[in-house]
Amino acid sequence: MSGRTLIVGATTASLVLVVTSLALGGASYHPRPVADPCQPRQWQATTNLDELAQQLASSALDGAACELHVSRETLALALASPEGRARFANDPRLGSALRAGLVRAIDDAGRAGVIPGPLADALSAAAGNLPADQVVAAVRNASGLLDQVRGLLGPLGQILNGL
């Protein structure tokens, strides 16, 4: 192949990419708006405990963010670092917001049929009675929280995996 053929081929490929991008709306790109954490999220069928934990965590973050009047992304980023956790942990509303988020997540999972109704009701009642200071302490010590939850859920996790 000659150099001229390569240049023509590269130019043609570039033009095809540009035209395709424009045809698909590339000229009017707008960033996707941040989702409203107060709106219910769509639940998917789960096949294992990890998928259930991910959906519960997302829903709980939504619920807590709604209570705190921040975006889920803002809260998630803040809770991901020790400095962010410390900053939010000083907010007196954090404990009740996290508890409300957890209750919301369990209720959402129950309504979606991901957690059986009676079990969701019992878990929701238990989560609603968690002391706010313990919820905040769990967030402050979040590094091993998932392993602790898995340990606590041992038999329950096996039941949920069988659903």
pLDDT tens-place string over residues 48-59: 778 888 888 888
What CA–CA distance (Å, rounded) separates 76 from 91?
A: 15
Cα separation of 153 and 163, whole Å? 15
Mean pLDDT, residues 81-95: 76
Q: Which of 131, 93, 126 is nearest to 107 (CA)?
A: 126
- Position 118, amino acid: P
Report whether pLDDT(61) > 60.
yes
pLDDT value, residue 141: 64
pLDDT of the residue at 93: 85
State both tokens at 49: 């405990």
Please tell me which residue, 153 or 37, carries the higher pLDDT value: 37
Q: Is the pLDDT of residue 82 over 60?
A: yes
Residue 144 — pLDDT band, cuts 50, 70, 90?
low
148: pLDDT confidence band, cut at 50, 70 and 90? Answer: low
The per-residue pLDDT for 1 is: 65
* Average pLDDT estimate for 3-25: 86
55 closest CA partner among 117, 115, 100: 115
Average pLDDT on 74-85 reads: 80
Q: How far, in Å, are 33, 57, 73 from residue 29 at the CA level?
A: 12, 30, 21
Q: How much is the pLDDT for 66? A: 92
Higher pLDDT, 83 or 105: 105
What is the model's pLDDT at position 163? 46
